[in-house]
Amino acid sequence: MTMVVVFGGTGFLGRRLVRRLTAEKSNVRVAVRHLEEARYALRAADPGRVTVHRADVRDRASVAAAVAGADAVVNAVSAYVEKGGVTFAAVHEQGAKTVAQEAAAGGAARLVMVSGIGADPASQSRYIGARGRGELVVRQAFPGATTVRPGAMFGMGDALFGTVADLARLLPVLPLIGSGTRLQPVYVEDVAEAIARMLADPRAIGQTYEIAGPRVYTLRELVTTALRLIGRRRLLVPLPFMVAEILARLFELLPSPPLTTSQVDLLRADNLASGAFPGFRELGIQPKAVEEIVPTLYRPSCAGF
């Protein structure tokens, strides 16, 4: 691809994708709401192949300007908290539709939309429902769009192991929400590699991919793993979903909430690949397991408790 526009290119997944695309000699235009974020998040990308464009998926004119002349567009924008005009419907439905419409109008040959395993337009969850409805409107606006549904992503700075590690350093007891919920965590770098391959493979046009890790874990198993890796022992106390939702709403008042209502919603049901869609195997990728990566990210603390 000559020019790839990445919306959400400074996010957890987006910045890895930008680095991978530039390493493969693609030129990348990063569409981002706050230009100051781009300077920090993209410092490891090839600066000669990256340009930054101020754009907001809620503003059609800025989206149209961002995708002008693009060969491919990736929408990796994600909102986990609703604040002000940044609502799940505005970002994951209307915003996704705007990106798809303007990508089509601008003549982009490819569009990849990042969604998530479990996205369901009929869900009562505002977040999960908006994700599902976003997939539908994107497919209508850009019939050849490729949809990517990753599982819970992990890597340095993630909201999975990183949050557990941070809380364990502060609290003597850890609340456990949905301890029996099963997940298939997926390494964020593998997801970035998968998207890069989709962009280069015409067989991915119009496809939906479920991108999940090689192993299934309960949430309790993942939390226990995180504690072992940082050398801490903590009492795990089950937390009812009703209480967790109340706490999440309070946490969402913070600049960087350790828990959000959308995360609570995702933990109410197993987050597993259905097997009904192509995934890593069809892309020729062997995904890395938690046991391969997470030990390289965290080191045991000197204090065992």
Best CA proximity match to 199, nearest among 155, 154, 144: 144
Q: What confidence score (pLDDT) does residue 1 get?
A: 54
For the cut 90, the answer to whether the pLDDT of residue 137 exceeds it is yes
Q: What confidence score (pLDDT) does residue 161 get?
A: 83
- The model's pLDDT over 253-305, given as tens digits with 9 standing for 90+, comes to 888 787 889 888 988 999 999 999 999 999 999 999 998 998 888 765 444 44
Burial 170-189 (b: 16+ CB within 10 A, else e): eeeebbbbbbebebbbbbbb
Q: What confidence score (pLDDT) does residue 300 get?
A: 56
Q: What confidence score (pLDDT) does residue 303 get?
A: 42
What is the domain class of 3-153+186-212+272-287 according to CATH? Answer: alpha beta
Q: What is the mean pLDDT of residues 143-169?
A: 87
Q: Where are the alpha helices (DSSP H) in 183-240?
A: 188-200, 219-229
Average the pLDDT over each of 86-90, 180-184, 189-193, 226-230 and give the range with the smallest value.
Answer: 226-230
In this structure, what is the dihedral angle of CA atoms 260, 181, 212, 26, given to the nearest 10 degrees?
10
Q: What is the mean pLDDT of residues 41-69?
A: 88
Best CA proximity match to 192, nearest among 14, 8, 49: 14
For the cut 70, the answer to whether the pLDDT of residue 148 exceeds it is yes
Please state the pTM of the whole predicted model.
0.91
- The model's pLDDT over 172-222, given as tens digits with 9 standing for 90+, comes to 888 888 878 999 999 999 999 999 999 999 999 999 999 999 999 998 898
Hey, CA dihedral for 257, 263, 265, 268, is it positive or negative? negative
Pairwise CA distance, residues 294 & 297, whole Å? 5
Q: Which residue has the higher pLDDT, 151 or 179?
A: 151
Distances in whole angstroms, Cα of residue 9 to Cα of each of 16, 76, 164, 169:
8, 7, 25, 30
- 8 A C-beta contact, residue 201 and residue 112: no
For the cut 80, the answer to whether the pLDDT of residue 44 exceeds it is no
Distances in whole angstroms, Cα of residue 303 to Cα of each of 88, 99, 135, 156, 206:
41, 49, 47, 22, 52
For the cut 50, the answer to whether the pLDDT of residue 23 exceeds it is yes
Q: What is the mean pLDDT of residues 23-49?
A: 81
Q: Is 83 exposed, middle or buried (0-12, 13-18, 19+ CB in 10 A)?
A: exposed
Q: Which residue has the higher pLDDT, 283 or 163?
A: 283
Q: Where are the alpha helices (DSSP H) in the chain?
A: 14-23, 35-41, 60-67, 88, 96-105, 126-141, 161-170, 188-200, 219-229, 241-251, 261-266, 280-283, 290-297
Q: Which helix (H) or strand (E) holds 303?
A: none
Domain layout of the chain by residue ranges: 3-153+186-212+272-287
- 8 A C-beta contact, residue 38 and residue 30: yes
Q: What confidence score (pLDDT) does residue 304 get?
A: 42
- The model's pLDDT over 28-40, given as tens digits with 9 standing for 90+, comes to 999 998 877 777 6
Specify the DSSP class assigned to residue 49: G
